[in-house]
Amino acid sequence: MRRKKTIVTLTTALAPAERALNVLGTDLTEKGLRRYLNGIAGVDAVGLEQRAAALGTRSIKTTSKRWALDTIISLIDLTTLEGADTRGKVRSLAAKAITPDASDPDCGPVAAICVYGDMVPDAVAALGAHHGAPDRGKIAVAAVATAFPSGRASLPVKLSDTSDAVAAGADEIDMVIDRGAFLAGNYGRVFDEIVAVKETCRREDGTSAHLKVILETGELNTYDNVRRASWLAILAGGDFIKTSTGKVSPAATLPVTLLMLEVVRDWYKLTGQKIGVKPAGGIRSSKDAIKYLVTVAETAGEEWLQPHLFRFGASSLLNDVLMQRQKMTTGHYSGPDYVTID
């Protein structure tokens, strides 16, 4: 990545266009975006994968493992994104988010529950007094939007999708970028859509739902594209960059997440502003999740191991973590019958 000698100090109050102008130092045009993004250094794929593999070999044991398991739970976006979702399923998901392990009152809660936009009112109602900001011990409601998971819709439809979810009480919006436009090199269109969705996240009281920008890295084909898309999403105002919808394979991988963490680290060095990262899809075991914790700590820093800066998008991960916690308490595996079904 091209380095600047001075730090560009940004505040979260800056509009996306101002944020981009401060960093690009040029006119905010398609040509300017293309010049900047194409000027980013290429990714050393071999080096990236070797470092990810090395980080994945680190082991965490005893009390540190218990801390790691509890941390994973606090970072989970417990997710249900199926066409067959019902109000009852969302209520059950909320109950599990509040009390992941009914046998252990010291366990939980998770960071958020993630649902389709039309399920937001049910999620908010089911959480009740537990609904709120994760960094204050509450549980957020995240809604996927912008014609998730394909993103194949007109901008007015995407903005209406977002507006409805925010009005219904969503604390966070997980949007998808137009991968076709990005792969065609139409960075300005992708930038403008993210900016428009970011503005739609603003509520009448002046507050704003947090915006997670899903890159769908499995469709971006190269590490270079993942790095460019990460920078583009942050420039356009994303509060988080997220790997995947969970509907495309491959979804989250450790090398891709490492690369995205390097981007937010470099952004922080450049601007003093912290951006979150959310790997989603395919992370099913506590063993794998611990590898991500190590990667976060070793790349962006331990301060990123907080719900407002790192999340796991998962549905089945929580059960494995709960079984591992029970094993540490009882000395034996209790099995899946001792945790609730998602």
pLDDT digits (tens, 9 = 90+) for 19-74: 777 788 767 788 889 989 999 999 999 999 999 999 999 877 777 899 999 999 99
Catalytic residue among 101, 122, 174, 266: 174
Q: How confident is the model at residue 341 (pLDDT cuts 50, 70, 90)?
A: low
Mean pLDDT over residues 3-15, rounded?
A: 46
Q: What local confidence, expressed as pLDDT, does residue 105 receive? A: 87
Query: Is 266 a residue of the active site?
Result: no
Q: What local confidence, expressed as pLDDT, does residue 22 receive? A: 79
| Mean pLDDT over each residue of the chain, to the nearest integer | 91
Query: Is 242 a residue of the active site?
Result: yes
Q: What local confidence, expressed as pLDDT, does residue 9 receive? A: 46
Mean pLDDT over residues 122-135, rounded?
A: 97
Q: With 80 as the cut, is the pLDDT of residue 243 above it? A: yes
Q: How confident is the model at residue 200 (pLDDT cuts 50, 70, 90)?
A: very high
Residue the block writes with tokens 């300017």: 32
Q: What local confidence, expressed as pLDDT, does residue 244 receive? A: 97
**Tens digit of each residue's pLDDT (9 = 90 or more) over 249-273:** 999 999 999 999 999 999 999 989 9
- Going along the chain from its start, the domains and CATH numbers come out as 22-330 (3.20.20.70)
Q: How confident is the model at residue 108 (pLDDT cuts 50, 70, 90)?
A: confident
Residue 131 three-state SS: strand
Query: Is 85 a residue of the active site?
Result: no
Q: Which two tokens stand for residue 9?
A: 């100090």
**Tens digit of each residue's pLDDT (9 = 90 or more) over 146-172:** 999 999 999 999 999 999 999 999 999
Catalytic residue among 96, 158, 212, 242: 242
Buried-exposed string 90-102: b where 16+ CB fall within 10 A, e elsewhere? bebbbebbbbbbe
Nearest to 74 by CA among 246, 257, 321: 321
Mean pLDDT over residues 314-329, rounded?
A: 92
Catalytic residue among 138, 158, 278, 291: 278
Mean pLDDT over residues 1-19, rounded?
A: 52
* Strands of 276-278's sheet in order across: 276-278, 240-242, 210-214, 172-176, 140-144, 112-116, 76-79, 312-314
Highest mean predicted confidence (pLDDT) among 30-39, 277-286, 332-341: 277-286
Contact 227, 44 (CB under 8 A): no
131 contacts: CB under 8 Å, gap ≥ 6: 124, 138, 139, 140, 141, 169, 171
